[in-house]
A and B are shown apart, each in its own frame.
Chain A
């Protein structure tokens, strides 16, 4: 008897490619949200595989808070050139300059929440009917019930009580004028799956994910990298630490971990023995118990 077995990573890969092909088939004008973080890099890689040898048949969009580590932007531009992809940059700074959003002030000021306005506007301007994102259900409680095809009303809002049931592998992307979908091809992946897959496929990542020396300080039990975008208090001592980032988001609210892991294998061992969730290092989720649920309802990723 021949054996017809797929490893769990190949099964997840196949599921994600299936979802990406459904997007290309069911929507007229999709866009892939690319943040430069490992999850969106994996989604872009899966999109390459789904349509190979053709190019990815939709553009990429980066919602740029302007508060990035320079390594992220450098990587983004290089990766887009490699993919031959068309990159759209939607700038939070522009939304601020146009008076559409008001910048937070103070020590904990972050542009993370402002992204929603910029994102929704960019979706409207570009007439995109589907935004593909790299969110995973294991990241956070409010995401555990998210669909692969997540319906948004014409205000871009998510109604957790009014989502379409998803059965088998049949995805319903039918919609009215003005409505759009968020689609999450890697819904079923865990942080561990992502890292293992990056190793399996030899996917290139920004250097921020690997152990390096950086000027950092402690705040609310988190290690934050020193940047021009964060005001430090007098009591917060800035010193050089050996760290890496587990997620890459806005520099003002992405926590680092002390780590000597400088290879993928070392990172995987570290993830396997880690005792705190990935988003445990994100200040944006700590604001309240239902922080993510509230942001999602307003149209966050």
Chain B
């Protein structure tokens, strides 16, 4: 690590969250190891540890994949069984990787990793081209509305860096993804094992004029990934100091889930519908004049109205839908199948409710994108469209409009496990 970091520059970096998807043996762990290694995020003691393990196992190259194989249970089985989070930074950006395994039974892990990601890397083995799992990964990226997708055509070294192999993946993927709602897709030919086009430009593929993977990660525009149009402020907690200095202070703490709120503006509170004005937007570092996602702030209002956790502050002329019956796409996360007619606890922003699953509209065959309308059995890793009825009104936006107010989870009331991930249609 020769370059010196400018401690002031580091204070103004952006944060990019991305997820990686690939099937078994696509070289996903190697790619992550390569990103960490070439960005000099690997420390000597970590490197020594994996060198000695690689040597002990008689492997030819230092196995960079070992950097990300976390738990002993996994090392013994040689697979990754859960979402793991990795961190690295370059002088331009800080990165959080949600590293998710690619096996068919782990759709739920990719959904989990994708739910917070700005960008998805989908790995394709250049020798095998676009396969069923690639389609599944693309579908999940589209369903979870990840704003940016980078298709990395890996193992180019094993196809003699042949442009045709890359072009085949490119056109096959585009044919398939035309049916999906992915806004921004890019393609990069790489070799994670040897480092071509990961951080450093490849000397073996003159025919590729585009950026390296790292260049995309460092420069992709993420400023518009959040909704800055439709103001939504779910109340998390009511701050009441009850001290002499702040005797009558009543602040509404939360994280802005959409749009922009300004001091002095007129607002409405759901579900009551009462209106007021924003008196102040407070932080410990002093009051601020505007708040936007994903800022955590505390608001005070001009009028004394009864507000508690689960309520939502919005604009008078821009309100979410308030509904007790609605359709969602659900991804089932639990071994115990979804019960049609069953009751579940529901969590949406800061609001808790109970719901009943009224019906299954269809189950998705995520390999063919066919809607199976006569199949209503939703089990682990299945995705389908269902209708929910809730005990209290939920303040909804479509998931495409706002990932924060368009998402919710279902909780099994007997086990308390999180069993369903829902996106408002």
Contact = CB atoms under 8 A, between A and B. Distances in A.
Contacts of A274: 43
A80 B36 CA distance: 39
Given A172-B418, A273-B1, A193 B296 contact: no
B241 A8 contact: no
15 contacts: A3-B223, A6-B295, A9-B11, A11-B15, A13-B296, A18-B255, A25-B237, A53-B239, A145-B85, A167-B112, A174-B416, A188-B87, A269-B5, A274-B43, A275-B43
Contacts of A166: 112, 418
Contact size class for A? Answer: 35 or more
B45 A21 contact: no
A138 to B, nearest CB: 5
A55 B71 CA distance: 39
Given A54-B242, A144-B70, 17 more contacts: A8-B15, A8-B94, A14-B294, A14-B296, A18-B236, A48-B284, A49-B283, A141-B69, A164-B418, A167-B116, A167-B409, A167-B421, A168-B116, A168-B407, A188-B85, A196-B11, A289-B72
A145 B82 contact: yes
Interface of B: 1, 4-5, 7, 10-15, 43-46, 49, 68-73, 81-87, 89, 93-94, 96, 108-109, 111-112, 115-116, 223, 226, 228, 236-237, 239-243, 245-246, 249, 251, 253-255, 260, 282-285, 292-296, 298, 309, 333, 345, 347-350, 403-404, 407-409, 411, 416-418, 421
B223 to A, nearest CB: 6
Contacts of A169: 116, 255, 404
Interface in A257-283: 265, 268-269, 272-277, 280
Given A21-B236, A160-B82, A277-B46, A142 B418 contact: no
A249 B294 CA distance: 33
A91 B11 CA distance: 39
Interface string A1-27: 001111111111111011001101100
B12 A7 contact: yes
Contacts of B86: 138, 144
By CB atoms of chain B within 10 A, which of A9, A167, A268, A274 has the most? A167
B296 A174 contact: no
A233 interface: no
A145 to B, nearest CB: 5
A268 B89 CA distance: 14
Contacts of B417: 164
Nearest to A141: B70
By CB atoms of chain B within 10 A, which of A3, A18, A50, A170 has the most? A170
A12 B255 CA distance: 12
Nearest to A285: B45
B347 A172 contact: yes
B284 A276 contact: no
Given A52-B284, A138-B87, A172-B409, A21 B260 contact: no
Contacts of B237: 21, 24-25, 51
B418 A193 contact: no
A199 B293 CA distance: 24
A99 interface: no
A124 interface: no
B84 A144 contact: yes
Contacts of A11: 15, 294
A54 B236 CA distance: 15
Contacts of A193: 94
Interface string A59-88: 000000000000000000000000000000
A100 interface: no
A196 B7 CA distance: 8
A269 B5 CA distance: 7
Nearest to A7: B12
Contacts of B12: 7
Contact of B241 (A5, A54, A164, A280): A54
A142 B71 CA distance: 6
A163 interface: yes
A165 B245 CA distance: 42
A44 to B, nearest CB: 13
A200 B11 contact: yes
A175 interface: yes
A22 B85 contact: no
A7 B14 contact: yes
Given A8-B15, A289-B72, A165 B7 contact: no
A17 B298 CA distance: 11
A223 B85 CA distance: 31
A269 B8 CA distance: 11
Contacts of B408: 170
A53 B245 contact: yes
Contact of B71 (A141, A167, A196): A141
Contacts of A168: 115-116, 403-404, 407
A165 B72 contact: no
A160 B4 CA distance: 38
A51 B255 CA distance: 13
Given A52-B284, A174-B416, A144 B245 contact: no
Given A48-B284, A174-B411, A275-B43, A145 B7 contact: no
Contact of A276 (B45, B83, B228, B251): B45
B56 to A, nearest CB: 11
A187 interface: yes
Contact of A167 (B255, B407, B416): B407
A103 interface: no
A258 B255 CA distance: 42
B82 A163 contact: yes
Q: Considering the complex of A and B, which 10 residue pairs feature the smallest CB-CB distances, nearest first? A: A8-B15, A54-B241, A17-B296, A52-B284, A272-B5, A174-B416, A290-B72, A280-B45, A167-B115, A14-B296
